[in-house]
Amino acid sequence: MSSDDAAEIEAVVTEGAAQGSALKSFISGGFGGTCAVLVGHPFDLTKTRLQTAAPGTYTGAIDVVKKTLARDGVRGMYRGISPPLIGVTPIFAISFWGYDMGKKIVFAATPGRTSSKLTPAELAFAGFFSAIPATFVAAPAERVKVLLQVQGQGGKPAYTGPVDVLRKLYAEGGVKSIFRGTGATLARDGPGSAVYFVTYELLKTRLSGPVVVDPATGEEKPPALSLGAVSFAGGMAGVAMWSLAIPPDTIKSRLQSAPSGTYKGFFDCAKRLIAQDGVGALWKGFGPAMGRAFPANAATFVGVELSLKAMEKLW
């Protein structure tokens, strides 16, 4: 990456995607998501094992890491990475497409508005809306990922890989088994995405320079953001999202990793978890999630913006 690339990159992904083609949006979203997975997966594995392990299995996040490394080496920290890597391109592409669609719905519903700038509440609506279509891809990917992550903590692994997980889940309960936890995924990602996009947009506005006007055409161009500003805004958006998303994520992980018939649904899982381990159990994995949130989401937006910038130079 050149010093020019590091100095200034295009504005946020939503604006960059609007300027480019759908293909550019898809590629950049996938690349950004891949960056997030590569950076954040060890934290995610640690979080999931803390959330799903029996009480007393681990003393904390560091203990999870130590035992995983002792048992499986560094490779063990990336157990279950295939499903998110495979699913991340459509998940991120659909999410950002959904965000744009959410904003279009807002504009369509307010034809008499005098400003094109969306309020935080309107941005939150668009963010929540983005999670609805993305959930139908994210939920089965999360189901497979969680099952692969929780195995290898003692005893013989039940699955040899993602395809084996899907095959056995389908044999167990058909498509319904593969999509178990879809409601919990939306309960996590709906409010989480609302906070995510609002935080990013507000920080982007605060950190952006003035709007650039082309002297020849009079056309306004998005203000440039420094690489550091993109990293900070993206990282803080991730922190804001996961501060809200941990309780439903814990319930989702329990639902998706438990044997069939263990829970009747989202609320039954939450009720029994609280009865057994207290309200604090809903926040299991908070440390690893926060440790992952900033670097993974900083990597997401940096990856998206740099790939958009590269594609703008190519075509």
Give the pLDDT confidence of 209-258 residue by residue, as tens digits: 676 777 777 666 666 668 888 899 999 999 999 999 999 999 999 999 99
What per-residue confidence (pLDDT) applies to 15?
47
Is the pLDDT higher at 106 or at 313?
A: 106
> What is d(CA 208, CA 308) in angstroms, rounded to the nearest whole number?
18
**Which tokens hold the place of 239?**
């922190």
What per-residue confidence (pLDDT) applies to 10?
41
Of the candidates 168, 166, 12, 22, the residue with the CA atom closest to the CA atom of residue 86: 166
> What is d(CA 76, CA 80) in angstroms, rounded to the nearest whole number?
9
- What domains sit in the chain, N to C, each tagged with a CATH number? 3-314 (1.50.40.10)
Is the pLDDT higher at 182 or at 9?
A: 182
Per the DSSP assignment, residues forming a β-bridge with 221 are 212
Average pLDDT over residues 37-53: 88
Global pTM reads: 0.78
> What is d(CA 41, CA 45) in angstroms, rounded to the nearest whole number?
6
Return all residues near 276 (Cβ < 8 A) that are at least 6 apart. none
| Beta carbons of 138 and 226 less than 8 angstroms apart | no
Average pLDDT over residues 265-270: 95
> Model confidence at 202, in pLDDT bands (50, 70, 90)?
very high
